A and B are shown apart, each in its own frame.
Chain A
């Protein structure tokens, strides 16, 4: 039973890691390798707002989500605009920007026990005989609500529809008056905001460290590759496969082996179906 409960929570955490990355890639084909760095940067931003400026956590969290979204927006207009369409240059530049952020954080000495965010709710309860604290349940709810809201957003708002139009065919979208740079930068801002939002919810579960940035990026990539880079159902399926796989491996083989699961899942999926379980847009080109 604990396998089920903790597997579910672990999967939702993975889905939260991935959702922003997957959104940005799905819309503008931009692999944002700075995703993990923005995630952890938002945590430190919130911490600084609380402990340096003295804002309450709620306000600090909202403020840092907006700041990270702005940073993503700025990243697009300052660096990526000149490289649009050259997938590799985009990737290298976002990765380099991400590493710069992480190294600057490490250099400033942002690690250690005193850097942690407070939980929203203290205490816990028992579900089917398994003790779970409220924060983990909160993570679970946030994940579900976020996915539902995201679905509503991209299907029923004007910007969301423009996002989908860009994802399906950039030129046609251009011809009906959707400006691709504007939408591209918005998609990066949204992806970054989602990273920051999930950081606000997930980070209180543990200490903050700048190396978490790499970890988040790795898990986001693993989930995205397993599920297919641009599909939301694929992302959910991927995070459930890896999430439950990890918890099962920790329980039955030993916690050491948790790290093998994403790698094994990737290799397996790539051998069987290289574009991921649900990835279908670019199946043909990828296989070759």
Chain B
């Protein structure tokens, strides 16, 4: 580099509120408390208020955003233990089909099908993917990409569970707004719950499996069992989103295995930033309303998601959330170069 260009450089300083570590803060005033609480309270208060005031079309969009947010969170949770999935629609579809089938054939109300589909969906997803849990990276992604497409074809050709026509007139939620509340509360619980899990000892092991699985194995920890547990958790979250959606629309069809539900969560995480869960949430809260405004373009929407996905991976690999967090926590100023 030429010498002239070193005259001035940008210097970054952490704000004084951080003491020694990322999790220990020196709070001196209400302003500091506000500064710390604001980013955490903003999504909670904002989403809860929105779920009260939004009705009709934009209420549906909110439910959508939270559903995709749940899928993105479950993607991020799997990714944090090294399982990269290209088939989040598997979880979504299994949850939707479980809830729909229980409601249609056994006449169970949503109050039972929703939790049952969540738990059973997690179990089924973990069982389905457990044979391939030894695979890493590209290989695992390939299998997850194939599974929902193959399941969709199976339903299409064998005609089970409604076949190509699907099952309609499922029982709705008793209250119009209940779906929105459930979606928002589930979304927030997952967001903050996952952030907490990943910082606990349990989450530390999961992250260690991603970083160096053999080191974890040599610590006498069964990584396959841990990965299966992670699959159960994210499978259950995805299945919850699917079950919620089936009852919300009162319809169940093969479209629950569609590519939208696989691509958009990945795009949301890529846009928002991986590893912090807040990035996944932020990404889906940006992408879903955006895609709703693009609805007039019809089939072109998926092409646009893909464009956003490629653009954000290449242009801002760290993601919006990490970028914003850095700006929020640090001062920047120009100083004389050395």
Q: Do A and B interact with each other, yes or no? A: yes
Given contacts A99-B306, A218-B150, A274-B135, contact A92 B270 (CB under 8 A): yes
- CB-based nearest A residue for B267: A96
Residues of A in contact, count (CB < 8 Å) = 43
B46 at the interface (CB under 8 A from A): no
A159 at the interface (CB under 8 A from B): no
Do B134 and A270 touch (CB < 8 A)? yes
What A residues does B53 contact at CB under 8 A? none
A-contact 0/1 string along B143-173, CB 8 Å cutoff? 1011101100110011000000000000000
Do A263 and B146 touch (CB < 8 A)? yes
Number of A-B contacts (CB under 8 A): 116
- Contact partner, A87, options B135, B137, B153, Cβ 8 Å: B137
Residues of B in contact, count (CB < 8 Å) = 43
Do B313 and A31 touch (CB < 8 A)? no
Given contacts A82-B314, A104-B303, A259-B157, contact A95 B138 (CB under 8 A): no
Do B313 and A89 touch (CB < 8 A)? yes
Do A225 and B158 touch (CB < 8 A)? no
CB-contacts of A161-177 with B (<8 A): none
Q: Is the interface of B mostly helix, strand, loop or mixed?
A: helix
Measured between alpha carbons, how far is A135 from B3 in the docked complex, in Å?
Answer: 68
- Contact partner, B132, options A100, A270, A287, Cβ 8 Å: A270
Do A103 and B136 touch (CB < 8 A)? no
Do B314 and A99 touch (CB < 8 A)? no
Do B149 and A103 touch (CB < 8 A)? no
**What residues of chain A have their CB less than 8 Å away from a CB belonging to chain B?**
31, 33, 79, 82-83, 87-89, 91-93, 95-97, 99-100, 103-104, 106-107, 214, 218, 221-222, 224-225, 229, 255-257, 259-260, 262-263, 266-267, 270-271, 274, 285-288
**What residues of chain B have their CB less than 8 Å away from a CB belonging to chain A?**
84, 86, 131-132, 134-139, 141-143, 145-147, 149-150, 153-154, 157-158, 213-214, 217, 259, 263, 266-267, 270, 298-300, 302-303, 305-307, 309-310, 313-314, 317
Name the 10 nearest CB pairs between A and B, nearest first.
A96-B306, A103-B303, A256-B157, A100-B306, A259-B153, A96-B309, A100-B303, A103-B302, A107-B299, A221-B142
